[in-house]
């Protein structure tokens, strides 16, 4: 791989070599042509422009809107009189390869915004882009005869672009506004070398096989009915049992760590959401309804369907006078919440409108913050190790839209940093990524094929206790404000189950899986024996299934194995006579014969898992 400097990191900004030189910058950290996140931003941005240049040559009347870098790739929105579909991607890729070989210099120049309006006077998409730019001077990047408004950064020339793939064609409204015209969008990705591209595409292929939406349907776990409840899962018996097993495991783990179960209402009067700050800072993500007023002759009153469980937990704390001796108080609830998501971003169980959080709120004294956060971090570690997840942490700081003083935010952020530093774990910083009421630690897990997922969060909050006037009595009989720690470890059961499904490719560990075994009787006369074992498993809280049909035994066994259940049990005359079972174990691909008592004990012992 070429050791070429393609840009510089200056503070938190990435600039290309042209900008760095033109603005006479100093002290930047060099960015080399490789697969680092900083380099990929430059490479993918330039590949997006190369794609646009190729489209312009193939479709001369094409006009372009924006072409940003996104996670794992890039896209470009454009308009042309000719329809463009997935079957045209190979043609565009071929033209990109031709243009890349010409090693066009990528040149940057600046003009005034008024000059740019004249220059692109016949291009309404460029005018729309200029409407979004607040500066009076704009930059343009040019390669060959093609050019576009752009802030950069870009590579020095197109010859460095050698490893890319166009992935799909989609539609996109201008500026994301459904009232405006529909544009064509092409998604693609790029890397510094072909080997890395090949590995990434192989990972995508594996991800498609593991897609929880596909497996959820095939394994009859859950489904979505957009005509009935868009963005809300309907759980089938297998999926509901899988979810129950996870909930039961986590419920016990919370009790053992000193958490107390609580439960709040689904609806609260809107004045509560106004008082908390949700109404001003989160209203667009909430659902509201009108309910008749408690008092006669009063108009209906507005209620908000809860998007979070915090407010009920605040009321649990404040329903009686609390002493410092009670703290920390740890309340938890597997609370179902609703959040308004646009239909375009809904994505199976990963992005839904209704979900259940493993939510907890810890009320403590200020000097207890670090110790409580450390305990949560240890809880996180126990859960992630159980499911063989690697994970990383990131502290998210104050966003632009937030409540509370700078002093409170700084105090809360420093408490999180100190707790993380005591664990010895490395962590990143997401500037401006905090919740509106406090900074947070985000937990990001890495699955079996290397993808990262945002799951749990730990947030320190001085603001809500202040707004709701929470108090406890200290050792000097003074009224003191507690600190509130918001905490969810898996995030939501829906999202975590989606991740687990893809992580294990539908082959869940025995302790968590919905069905421990599928029983295949050789003949109809063997069904009662199978049923007695299934009944014994049910008494222990485990699920077994019976599979019998007029298909051949071999076909029935194959059908059972396709369900990805850990154990397939074959029962015939010999097994009934000896009180045994013939077990096929999918996990280690073995076959063994054991007594039915040994079989039940094996399942019982393997499922006695604690976090």
Pick the closest to residue 239 from 346, 349, 350 (CA basis): 349
Beta bridge partners, 359, equal 333, 488
Q: How far apart are the C-alpha atoms of 439 and 483, rounded to whole Å? A: 13
Q: Is 124 a catalytic residue?
A: no
Active-site choice (210, 361, 495, 503): 361
Residue 517, token pair as written in the block: 């075994």
Q: Is 94 a catalytic residue?
A: no
Q: Is 562 a catalytic residue?
A: no
Residue 481, token pair as written in the block: 């404000």
Contact 456, 491 (CB under 8 A): yes
Pick the closest to residue 154 from 10, 36, 16 (CA basis): 16
Helix segments in 298-424, DSSP class H: 310-318, 369-386, 406-423
Active-site choice (165, 440, 542, 584): 440
Q: Is 244 a catalytic residue?
A: no
Contact 50, 161 (CB under 8 A): yes
In the 3-class helix/strand/coil scheme, how is 120-176 assigned residue by residue? Answer: CCCCHHHHHHHHHCCCCEEEEEEECCEEEECCCCCCCEHHHCCEEEEEEEEEEEHHH
Other C-beta atoms closer than 10 Å to the C-beta of 295 total: 7
Which residue pairs from 88-93 have beta carbons closer than 8 angstroms and sit at least 24 positions apart in sequence? 88/169, 89/166, 89/167, 89/168, 89/169, 89/186, 91/58, 92/51, 92/54, 92/55, 92/58, 92/166, 92/186, 93/54, 93/164, 93/165, 93/166
Other C-beta atoms closer than 10 Å to the C-beta of 603 total: 21
Active-site choice (306, 330, 486, 503): 486
Q: Is 357 a catalytic residue?
A: yes
Active-site choice (150, 310, 364, 607): 310
Length of the chain: 611
Q: Is 117 a catalytic residue?
A: no
Q: Is 585 a catalytic residue?
A: no
Beta bridge partners, 291, equal 301
Active-site choice (358, 359, 442, 461): 359
Other C-beta atoms closer than 10 Å to the C-beta of 299 total: 8
Q: How far apart are the C-alpha atoms of 490 and 455, rounded to whole Å? A: 5
DSSP string, 188-230: EEEESSHHHHHHHHHHHHHHHHH-HHHHHHHTTSEEE-TTT-T
Q: How far apart are the C-alpha atoms of 433 and 312, rounded to whole Å? A: 25
Pick the closest to residue 496 from 373, 345, 380 (CA basis): 380
Contact 186, 90 (CB under 8 A): no
- Tokens 């003009």 correspond to 111
Contact 68, 74 (CB under 8 A): yes
Residues 6 or more apart in contact with residue 427 via CB below 8 angstroms: 392, 393, 394, 395, 417, 420, 441
Active-site choice (18, 53, 143, 357): 357
Instruction: Estimate the crossing angle of helix 369-386 against helix 406-423, to 10 degrees.
Output: 50
Residue 120, token pair as written in the block: 């692109």
Q: How far apart are the C-alpha atoms of 366 and 274, rounded to whole Å? A: 26
Active site residues: 310, 339, 357, 359, 361, 440, 486
């Amino acid at each position: 791989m070429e050791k070429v400097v393609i840009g510089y990191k200056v503070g938190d900004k990435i600039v290309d070599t042209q900008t760095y030189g033109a603005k006479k910058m100093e002290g930047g950290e060099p960015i080399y042509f490789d697969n680092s996140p900083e380099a990929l931003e430059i490479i993918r941005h330039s590949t997006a422009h190369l794609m646009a240049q190729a489209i312009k040559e193939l479709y001369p009347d094409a006009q372009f809107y924006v072409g940003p870098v996104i996670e794992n790739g890039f896209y470009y929105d454009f308009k042309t009189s000719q329809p463009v579909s997935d079957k045209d991607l190979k043609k565009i890729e071929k033209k990109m390869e031709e243009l890349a070989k010409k090693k066009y210099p990528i040149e940057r120049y600046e003009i005034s915004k008024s000059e740019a309006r004249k220059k692109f006077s016949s291009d309404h998409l460029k005018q729309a882009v200029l409407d979004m730019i607040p500066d009076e001077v704009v930059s343009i990047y040019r390669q060959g005869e093609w050019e576009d408004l752009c802030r950069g950064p870009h590579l020095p020339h197109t010859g460095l672009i050698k490893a890319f793939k166009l992935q799909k064609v989609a539609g996109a409204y201008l500026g994301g506004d459904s009232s405006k015209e529909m544009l064509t969008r092409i998604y693609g990705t790029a890397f510094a070398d072909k080997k890395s591209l090949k590995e990434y595409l192989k990972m995508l292929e594996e991800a498609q096989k593991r897609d929880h939406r596909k497996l959820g349907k095939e394994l009859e776990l859950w489904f979505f009915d957009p005509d009935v409840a868009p963005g809300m899962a309907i759980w089938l018996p297998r999926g509901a049992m899988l979810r129950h097993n996870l909930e039961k495991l986590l419920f016990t783990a919370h009790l053992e760590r000193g958490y107390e179960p609580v439960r709040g209402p689904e609806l609260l009067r809107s004045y509560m959401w106004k008082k908390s700050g949700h109404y001003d800072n989160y209203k667009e993500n909430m659902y509201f309804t009108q309910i008749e007023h408690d008092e006669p002759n009063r108009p209906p009153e507005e209620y908000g369907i809860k998007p979070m469980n915090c407010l009920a937990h605040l009321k649990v704390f404040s329903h009686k006078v609390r002493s410092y001796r009670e703290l920390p108080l740890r309340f938890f609830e597997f609370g179902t919440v609703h959040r308004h998501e646009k239909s375009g971003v809904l994505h199976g169980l990963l992005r839904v409108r209704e979900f259940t959080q493993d939510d907890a709120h810890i009320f403590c004294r200020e000097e207890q913050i670090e110790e409580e956060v450390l305990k949560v971090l240890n809880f996180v570690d126990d859960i992630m190790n159980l499911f063989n997840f690697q994970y990383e942490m990131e502290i998210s700081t104050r966003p632009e839209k937030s409540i509370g003083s700078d002093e409170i935010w700084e105090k809360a952020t420093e408490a999180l940093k100190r707790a993380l530093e005591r664990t010895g774990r490395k962590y990143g910083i997401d500037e401006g990524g905090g919740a509106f009421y406090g900074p947070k630690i985000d937990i990001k897990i890495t699955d079996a094929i290397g993808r990262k997922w945002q799951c749990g969060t730990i947030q320190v909050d001085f603001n809500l206790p202040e707004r709701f006037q929470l108090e406890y009595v200290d050792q000097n009989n003074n009224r003191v404000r507690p600190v509130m720690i918001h905490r969810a470890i898996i995030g939501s059961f829906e999202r975590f189950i989606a991740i687990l499904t893809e992580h294990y490719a539908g082959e869940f560990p025995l302790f968590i899986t919905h069905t421990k075994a599928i029983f295949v009787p050789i003949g109809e006369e063997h069904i009662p024996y199978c049923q007695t074992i299934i009944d014994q498993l049910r008494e222990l809280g485990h699920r077994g299934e019976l599979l019998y049909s007029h298909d051949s035994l071999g076909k029935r066994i194959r059908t059972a194995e396709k369900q990805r259940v850990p154990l397939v049990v074959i029962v015939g005359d010999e097994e009934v006579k000896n009180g045994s079972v013939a077990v096929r174990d999918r996990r280690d691909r073995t076959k063994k014969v054991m007594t039915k008592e040994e079989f039940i004990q094996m399942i019982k012992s393997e499922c006695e898992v604690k976090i």
